[in-house]
Amino acid sequence: MSSCEIEDEDPTESRNYVTALARGLEVIRAFTGHNQQMTLADIARVSDLPRATVRRCLITLQTLGYVESQGRFFSLTPHVLTLAQAYLRSSVLPRVAQPFLEGVSEATGESCSASILNGAEVIYVARSSRKRIASLHRDVGTHLPAYCTSMGRVLLAALSPAELDGFLGRAVLEAHTPHTLTDPAPLRAALARVALEGFCVVDQELEIDLRGLAVPLRNGSGRVVAALNISTQAGRTTREEMLSRLLPALRNAAAEMRPLLLG
């Protein structure tokens, strides 16, 4: 089967698509952002799957050690972390990025992260944390909306026109704060500025008193593969300070990493 044939067909209609696997992963994802323990009915509601399907998935996942139960309540086991470890150990990006993030944190006294674009969200793949204050506490694996975060906008700005049109056509632009851009036209203009300037500052659009700065991370061939980010409290760090003190540190780290990311 050619790549064109793969792109033209609906993947879920392909004979190679394993529905049972997709549903099992949906059951695992149902625990994201919810209580540690969930009932079968809770999982069915969150995953939008039939209860009978959820039951079969839970039995399978429990047999494999990914889920445990206490009475009518189910929870994930630490064995789920091996799925994340598979990515972190097989991907060059987290291994390359980590020491540079540590260096940025050491030089600036701020938390520094590397994130990738995954659909409508960004996912932290590496993290060096100096500040563990409330909303600044983000761990590897944390996912946030792309449209209202500095790293998300850096990654969206690197999309092709067709890819960006597709994103804006599908995206649900919700107002997280009174400052959030929720109109596609101003958002598109903001992304154009990011592409031109090579960095992005997002000021309290995701959370009040949270200000983020991000730059693109390119591989050896020049393709944007991730975003480097520093987030800080707006009440203690001005935009001017971010640009004068923090932006150079991020840009230097991105430049030093580039030759190490083959592509």
Is pLDDT at 1 greater than 50 in this prediction?
Answer: no
pLDDT given for residue 9 in this prediction: 54
Domain segments of the chain as ranges: 3-80, 91-260
pLDDT given for residue 138 in this prediction: 66
Q: Average pLDDT of 196-221?
A: 95
Would you place residue 52 in the very low, low, confident or very high pLDDT band (cuts 50, 70, 90)?
very high
Which range among 18-27, 28-37, 44-53, 75-84 shows the weakest confidence by mean pLDDT?
A: 28-37
Measured distance CA(141)–CA(154) in Å, rounded: 19
Judge whether 3-80 and 91-260 match in fold.
no
CATH architecture of 3-80: Orthogonal Bundle (1.10)
Would you place residue 13 in the very low, low, confident or very high pLDDT band (cuts 50, 70, 90)?
low
Sign for the CA dihedral angle at 80, 150, 129, 95 comes to: positive
Neighbour tally for 86: CB within 10 Å: 10
Side-chain-side CA neighbours of residue 89 (13 Å): 6
Residue range 91-260 in CATH 3.40.920.10: no
pLDDT given for residue 14 in this prediction: 66
CB 11 within 8 A of CB 17: yes
Is pLDDT at 133 greater than 50 in this prediction?
Answer: no
Tell me the pLDDT of the chain averaged across its residues: 87
